Amino acid sequence: MLTWSLGFLILMVKLGAVLLFLLLAAAYLVWLERKFLARLQVRYGPNRAGKYGLLQPIADMIKMLTKEDTIPEGADRVIFLLAPAVVTVTALLMFAVIPFGGDLSFLGKRIPMVIADLNIGLLFVFALSSLGVYGIALGGWASNSKYSLLGGIRGAAQMISYELSLGLSLVPVVMLAGSFSLVDIVRAQEAYPFILVQPLAFVIFVISAMAESKRIPFDLPEAENELGAGYHTEYSGIRFGLFFLGEYVNMQVLGALVAVLFLGGWSGPFLSGPAWFCIKILVVALVMIWIRGTLPRLRYDQLMALGWKVLIPLALVNIVVTGAVILI
Amino acid sequence: MSFLIGTEAIAHVAFWIVVGLTFGGAVIAVFPRNIIYNVLGLVMALSGVAGLYLYLGSFFIALMQLLIYVGAICISIVFAIMLSRPLHLEVPKRSVPKVAMAAGASAIFFAAVVGVIFKSNWVPAPEQSGDWSVVTIGHLLLTRYDLVFEVISLVLLVAIIGAIVTAGYSRRFSS
Amino acid sequence: MVTLNSYLTLSAVLFSIGAVGVFTQRNALIMYMCIELMLNAVNLTFIAFSRYLNDLGGHVFVFMIMTVAAAEAAVGLAIIMALFRNKETVNVDEINLSKG
């Protein structure tokens, strides 16, 4: 009974720690993105609230919480209210299977630094990322606005298309590691990270994951100068905040997945596991912001052609080649 | 001991929540007149069924259910609805005798099935092995059931070609 | 304790709800969705029996039904979209193209 309650307590602590980390990191990722983007464009970025604008995320949060939560006329109330939550919750849940570090020993017990080490953790991530589409598509539909509907349709089409290449690009990684469990995949990279043996899979994964998270070269669902703000045009206050939070949590998921699958997860010299893991997430996030500052938006037909005619065939070829190499 | 009873009670409550989700979703999927609600009901029901698989201990099938049914099939239905806007089409009136007849026929079928279920004397397997992992299913798919695997591949190939051809022809006809 | 019979009854209820839907609805998309519901009821019995009889064959067949359902979604939705483009309706009572 004692072990049961202790296990429950440890689980709760882990959940709280991960949630706190994610929300804080999301808030400061916004600050980092604004600051870094501003420097790329020879601006200052936020510098009024606190030193270097470090209090800006808190000010933004207060602003979002206190603004009026409007519901447009003719909107489908239930779906309109639920859609932002779907986006955020699916993004947050993905962290349940992501390992932050190796085992920790505490009171003579070995505590893995992951909330749930599923033996099919990668499938869990895919299942949740495919559920995230509902938030976009239904939020766009329920707003009863042309811009939102167009954004929702674009978002759904883009996410369905790129989910295929996302999944296919990871098949070689699973073949090499021999497991769907993210912990086992990290353990399999103890000798060398998979980016060295699977550079093609890495490139395909990063491109399609950026398309999944709808960031700038792929931000057609919310293209400002065509659609207002796309699927969240009609949202305000904390519901818009939830969409926003979902986007930045998604960015962290992406960084964490790249770190776990290709960069060797928590392993690295000198520093402790979680520190290395956070550094790797941060590097991926910075590269994504850099890409955002550099590349223009794709056209819709270019987007579809890239997904279906380039990435998916390449991923399939990569699977066949990897399989052949493993067999030989 | 009280804690163990606690976990069992939680599991029981979870089971009934999942059952409620399934049936509520199924009813929403069938009866409302707004087609988006039908789809969302279907999503609810299918997620509920995934929960039942979890309860049966088949984690892999539960995730496949979420991935294939909820994440792919229902999304493509939502997409089809958004593109073809059958939302604004007139929904034909329901005739009461027809609904009554449908309900009656289904009730008779249901009674028959339940009769069979409770009349039969199911014999459980003598031993319950614990090996339900993905690895085992994968091995079975490539050894004992490899015909199934081949047939699935063929069906998917034909379906891809069929969907492309159908979509292509319809575009040519309408323009 | 949840027994085999309760799972079978559950899936019978699910199947019957789906059947009512197929009988009463005239919208091709909704009928398609009700068929999916019935397929799921069958899947549930497969998994329950697979557990009960300790035979992984049930899982393999559920896998097959899922892929067939995915194929059905691709082709079925393409057909429904084609019908909608040509006839401006998805009501199955008004679709009578092969009637002379």
Q: Is the pLDDT of residue A101 over 70?
A: yes
- Compute, in degrees rounded to 10, the torsion defined by CA atoms C73, C74, C79, C84: 80
Structure tokens at A174: 């699973």
- Residue C21: exposure state from Cβ atoms within 10 A (0-12, 13-18, ≥19): buried
Distance from CA of B52 to the nearest CA of C (A): 8
Chain B residue numbers with beta carbons less than 8 Å from the beta carbon of C50 are 58
pLDDT for B154 equals: 92
Q: Does A58 touch chain B (CB under 8 A)?
A: no
> Per the structure, how many domains does chain A have?
1
Asked if A136 contacts A159 with a C-beta cutoff of 8 angstroms, the reply is: yes
Residue A60 lies in a domain: yes
pLDDT of residue B169 exceeding 70, the answer is yes
Report the alpha-carbon distance of residue A286 to residue A255 in Å, rounded. Answer: 10
Q: DSSP labels for A18-84?
A: HHHHHHHHHHHHHHHHHHHHHHHTT---S-SSSGGGTTHHHHHHHHHHHS-----TT--HHHHHHHH
The C-alpha of B1 sits at a distance from chain A's nearest C-alpha, in angstroms, of 7
Q: Which of A84-98, A117-131, A224-238 shows the lowest per-residue confidence on average (mean pLDDT)?
A: A224-238
Please tell me if residue A236 touches chain B, with a CB cutoff of 8 Å. Answer: no
Q: pTM for the full model?
A: 0.85
Residues with Cβ within 8 Å of A145's Cβ and at least 6 positions away in sequence, in order, are A72, A233, A234
Inspect the interface and report whether the beta carbons of B134 and A152 lie closer than 8 Å. no
- The answer to the question of residue A4 being in a domain is no
- Chain C residue numbers with beta carbons less than 8 Å from the beta carbon of B140 are 56-57, 60
Q: Do C51 and B58 touch (CB under 8 A)?
A: yes
Asked if B88 has any chain A CB less than 8 Å from its own CB, the reply is no
Q: Which residue has the higher pLDDT, B128 or B161?
A: B161
CA–CA separation, A285 and A274 (whole Å): 16
The pLDDT value recorded for residue A41 is 86
Region C44-50: what's the mean pLDDT?
Answer: 88
Instruction: Round to whole Å and give the CA distance between B14 and B32.
Output: 27
Q: Please, how many CA atoms are within 13 Å of residue A264, restricted to the half-sphere of its CB?
A: 14
Residue A140 within any structural domain of the chain:
yes
Question: Which of residues B168 and B143 earns the better pLDDT score?
Answer: B143
- Taking 80 as the threshold, does the pLDDT of residue B162 lie above it? yes
Pick the CATH number of B1-88 from 1.10.357.10, 1.20.120.1200, 3.30.460.30, 3.40.50.2000: 1.20.120.1200
Beta bridge partners of A110: A105
Distance between B115 CA and the closest CA of chain A, angstroms:
37
The greatest distance separating any two alpha carbons of chain B, rounded to the nearest whole angstrom, comes to: 72
Range name among A308-322, B77-91, C13-27, C74-88 with the lowest pLDDT average: B77-91
Mean pLDDT of A290-310: 86
Q: How confident is the model at residue A2 (pLDDT cuts 50, 70, 90)?
A: low
> Is the confidence at residue B88, as pLDDT, over 70?
no
Q: How many CB pairs under 8 A join B and C?
A: 226
Please check the confidence at residue C86 and state whether its pLDDT lies above 80. no
- The domain total for chain C is 1
Higher pLDDT, B75 or C95: B75
**Summary mean pLDDT of chain B:** 81
Q: Which of residues 125-164 of B touch A (CB under 8 A)?
A: 133-134
Report, in angstroms and rounded to the nearest whole number, the Rg of chain B calculated over CA atoms: 21
Q: Which residue has the higher pLDDT, A226 or A18?
A: A18
For the cut 60, the answer to whether the pLDDT of residue B3 exceeds it is no
Q: How would residue B129 be classed by pLDDT, with cut points 50, 70 and 90? A: low
pLDDT greater than 60 at residue B69: yes
Q: For residue C24, give the nearest of B45, B98, B136 by CB distance.
A: B98
Helices (H), A262-294: 273-294
pLDDT score, position B1: 40
| Eight-state DSSP code of residue A120 | T
- Which member of B3, B63, B79 has the closest CB to residue A124? B63
Task: Suggest the residue from B17, B69, B154 to mutate for an interface test with chain C (most C CBs closer than 10 A).
Answer: B69
A285: pLDDT strictly greater than 70: yes
Question: How close is the nearest chain C Cα to the Cα of B65, in Å?
Answer: 8
Give residue C84's pLDDT: 77
Q: Which residues have a Cβ under 8 Å from the Cβ of B62 and sit 6 or more positions away?
A: B50, B51, B53, B54
Which band of pLDDT confidence, cut at 50, 70 and 90, is reported for residue A179?
Answer: confident
Containing domain of residue C46, as a range? 4-87
What's the confidence (pLDDT) of residue A317? 92
Dist CA B67 CA A188 (whole Å): 26
> Would you state the pLDDT for residue B170?
63
CA torsion angle A76 A80 A81 A82 (round to 10): 110
Q: Inform me whether the pLDDT recorded for C19 exceeds 60.
A: yes
- Average of pLDDT values for A258-267? 83
Q: Say what the ipTM of the complex is.
A: 0.85
Token pair listed for A250: 């998604």
What mean pLDDT is predicted for residues A222-246? 79
pLDDT on residue A108? 64
Q: Return d(Cα B165, Cα B159) in angstroms, integer.
A: 10
| Beta carbons of B82 and A152 less than 8 Å apart | yes
- Secondary structure of residue B25 in the 3-state scheme: helix
A8, two tokens:
């429950």
Domain ranges of chain B: 1-88, 134-175
CB A249 within 8 A of CB A76: no
The pLDDT of A266-273, averaged and rounded, is 76
Q: Is residue A111 part of a domain?
A: yes
pLDDT score of B158 = 92
Q: Is residue A15 part of a domain?
A: no
- pLDDT tens-digit profile of B16-34? 888 898 989 888 888 887 7
Domain of residue C37, CATH code? 1.10.287.3510
Structure tokens at B117: 């279920």
Q: Which domain holds residue A62?
A: 24-45+55-327
Say whether the A–B interface has 3 or more Cβ pairs within 8 Å. yes
C-beta of residue A178 within 8 angstroms of C-beta of residue A264: no
How many angstroms separate the CA of residue C59 from the nearest CA in chain B?
7
